[in-house]
Structure 1
Amino acid sequence: MKRLAFKMKLNPGQIKAYTERHNQLWPELKKLLKDAGVSEYSIFFDQETNTLFAFQKVSGDGGSQDLSDHPIVQKWWAFMADIMETHPDNSPVSKPLSEVFFME
């Protein structure tokens, strides 16, 4: 099991919309993530910087970041594009983070 972390940027004033959309996560997207080996997925918010910090536990070689060609993921990106920083293809601007400490 590997642990992955990355950060994204939320547009100012959009935390309520972001939270509401994730509270109603599409069942087909949740299944896709689980099928890809994502067993835990948490997103935290830093209100001072509008930064989203995401953490996943993933079995296997992939993770959510490897599903970019899937139509469900592309539809989700389009759904979220109006409230966060994205690339021209609607994918979120996401920066991987390196783990510097882990305590079991």
Structure 2
Amino acid sequence: MSPDRVCFTLQVKAGRIEEYTRRHAAVWPQMLRALKAAGWHNYSLFLRPDGLLIGYFETTSLHGARARMAATDVNALWQADMAGFFEGLDGAPDDGFTQLAEVFNLEDQLAALAPAPRHSNTKGD
């Protein structure tokens, strides 16, 4: 089964960008371990100077990965700690992000172009 590729946006408050960046330079070790155990792979955050945050991760199931994180104590603490950093957020950041639709993936399109395997016949083709 191919992984779900998840991309999302949030808006960091202008006056909190520096602190948000600093806090993500050393995320709590228990949070890092929980994300990995919950199936969040290849997880990255990108931050524009105006506070636009883009997140990306891969998982076998977005619903399952979110549910496994919601079941951890550290996630509730982290989400409460991070909630004040975002504009227009009603609730926890991991529930309030805007998921983006994937419209292009290089590997998927290259795989679709790959010719079907050629089978040789027994006459020495």
* Residue 79, structure 1, aligned to residue 70, structure 2: no
**How far is 1:103 from its partner?**
0.6
Identity %: 30
> In the alignment, is the contact (CA less than 8 A) between 2:6 and 2:57 conserved in 1?
yes
The corresponding residue for 1:96 is 99
Measured against aligned partners, the alpha-carbon deviations of 1:49-71 in whole angstroms (never above 9, x if no partner) come to: x22110001135533x4323432
- C-alpha distance in 1 between matches for 2:39 and 2:79: 20
Between the aligned partners of 1:30 and 1:75, the Cα distance in structure 2 is 13
Alignment coverage as a number of residue pairs: 100
More helix by share: 2
Q: Name the CA distance, whole Å, in 2 between partners of 1:41 and 1:75.
A: 19
Question: What amino acid is the match of 1:99?
Answer: E
Residues 1:36 and 2:65 are matched in the alignment: no
Alignment partners' CA distance in 2, 1:69 and 1:37: 13
| Structure with the higher fraction of residues in strand conformation | 1
Cα RMSD between the aligned structures?
Answer: 1.8
Using the size of structure 1 for normalisation, the TM-score is 0.82
Which structure 2 residue ranges, 5 or more long, are not aligned?
108-125
Q: 1:19 to 1:94 in 2, by over 3 A?
A: same
Q: CA deviation at 1:82?
A: 2.3
Q: Give the structure with higher Rg (CA).
A: 2
Residue number among 15, 22, 28 corresponding to 1:26 in the alignment = 28
Q: What is the rounded CA distance, in whole Å, between the counterparts of 1:60 and 1:81 in structure 2? A: 24
Alignment partner of 2:15: what SS?
Answer: coil
User: What TM-score do the two structures reach when normalised by structure 2?
Assistant: 0.70
